[in-house]
């Protein structure tokens, strides 16, 4: 007899975030009801006890242990290749559910056949809005995002346009892209657009994925009627010249070269 497939496959990658991942997994199992799901975790060689924590506390989770940090896109693709669900939910390890967000996103997708990918509302620990849906960036906007600690840049029209600060984020809306911290999409789209771009180690793989979604005829939506706490780590903004930051910048320039410096539908 064929094994029943889950309706949703939740895919998380983790790199040195054991405690945050533990909280994330606890809240997934606490709040997710009325929809069948599986959880797949890819440990990118954290060396902080992440794999052992999962094996001890969540032995039913599908765990992939990498011997090196493969980056974001390649590791997510490892999870996607194991996923059996009709839908995929990509979550960052530093997310904390507070309600049945998985079911709400699932219901929206079931009711919206034109939608290829949707992202929920993200907030910080104080419930302040995070700008998780955005317009496709100009190269200047990408540079400004790295320098937004400078007040005139943070308040610039270039950055505010990119982050959609001219909109209250309280209604369902078609958007250019939703960030990779929360991307809920149909597994069938992979057959049409492929996986995340393995050449992007860390950075704009979420932009590229949503852009390909639009080009293939699917829509990208922002769905504000559920929220998730995002304990954002912002590792590339803490140290602009770290190894991971340099790989992030390399991913940005790769993306622009890929689309001949025209990131648009």
- Domains with residue ranges and CATH for the chain: 8-258 (3.90.550.10)
Q: Give the pairing type, strands 115-123 and 182-186.
A: antiparallel
Instruction: Scan for tokens 């064929």, then name that residue.
Output: 2
CA-based angle 166:147:70, to the nearest 5?
Answer: 100
Helices (H) and strands (E) counted in the chain, each on its own, are 11, 12
**66: CB partners within 8 A, 6+ apart:** 42, 43, 44, 45, 75, 78
- Give the angle 54-72-126 at the CA atoms, nearest 5°: 70
258 token code pair? 């890929």
What is the pLDDT, as a whole number, of residue 147? 79
Rg (CA), the chain: 18
Strand partners, 122: 130, 228
Q: Measure the CA–CA gap between 102 and 107, rounded to whole angstroms.
A: 9
- Contact partners, residue 207, CB within 8 Å, separation at least 6: 136, 137, 177, 255, 263
Q: Which of 208, 223, 143, 215 is nearest to 177 (CA)?
A: 208
- The helix or strand, by DSSP H or E, that contains position 223, with its residue range, turns out to be strand 219-230
pLDDT by position in tens, the chain (length 265) = 345 899 999 999 999 999 999 999 999 999 999 999 999 999 999 999 999 999 999 999 999 999 999 999 999 999 999 999 999 999 999 999 999 999 999 999 999 999 999 999 999 999 999 999 999 988 888 788 777 778 888 889 999 999 999 999 999 999 999 999 999 999 999 999 999 999 998 889 999 999 999 999 999 999 999 999 999 876 545 555 567 777 777 888 889 889 887 888 7
pTM of the shown model: 0.93
CB 109 within 8 A of CB 115: yes
**Cβ–Cβ < 8 Å for 145, 132:** no
């Amino acid at each position: 007899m064929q094994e029943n497939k889950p309706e949703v496959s939740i895919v998380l990658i983790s790199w040195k975030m054991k405690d945050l991942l533990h909280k994330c997994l606890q809240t997934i199992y606490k709040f997710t009801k009325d929809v069948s799901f599986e959880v797949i975790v890819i440990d990118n060689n954290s060396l902080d006890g992440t794999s052992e924590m999962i094996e001890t506390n969540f032995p039913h989770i599908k765990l992939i242990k990498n011997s090196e940090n493969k980056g974001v896109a390649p590791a997510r693709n490892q999870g996607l290749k194991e996923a059996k669900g009709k839908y995929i939910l990509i979550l960052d390890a530093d997310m904390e559910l507070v309600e049945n967000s998985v079911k709400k996103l699932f219901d929206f997708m079931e009711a919206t056949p034109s939608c290829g990918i949707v992202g929920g509302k993200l907030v910080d620990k104080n419930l302040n809005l995070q700008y998780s849906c955005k317009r496709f960036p100009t190269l200047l906007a990408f540079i400004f995002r790295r320098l937004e600690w400078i007040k005139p840049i943070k308040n610039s029209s270039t950055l505010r346009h990119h982050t959609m600060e001219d909109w209250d984020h309280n209604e369902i809306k078609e958007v250019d892209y939703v960030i990779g911290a929360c991307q809920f999409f149909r597994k069938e789209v992979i057959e049409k657009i492929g996986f995340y771009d393995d050449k992007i180690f860390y950075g704009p793989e979420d932009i590229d994925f949503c852009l390909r979604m639009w080009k293939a005829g699917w829509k990208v939506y922002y769905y504000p009627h559920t929220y998730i706490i995002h304990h954002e780590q912002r590792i590339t903004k803490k140290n602009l010249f770290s190894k991971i930051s340099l790989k992030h910048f390399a991913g940005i320039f790769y993306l622009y070269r890929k689309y001949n410096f025209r990131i648009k539908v």
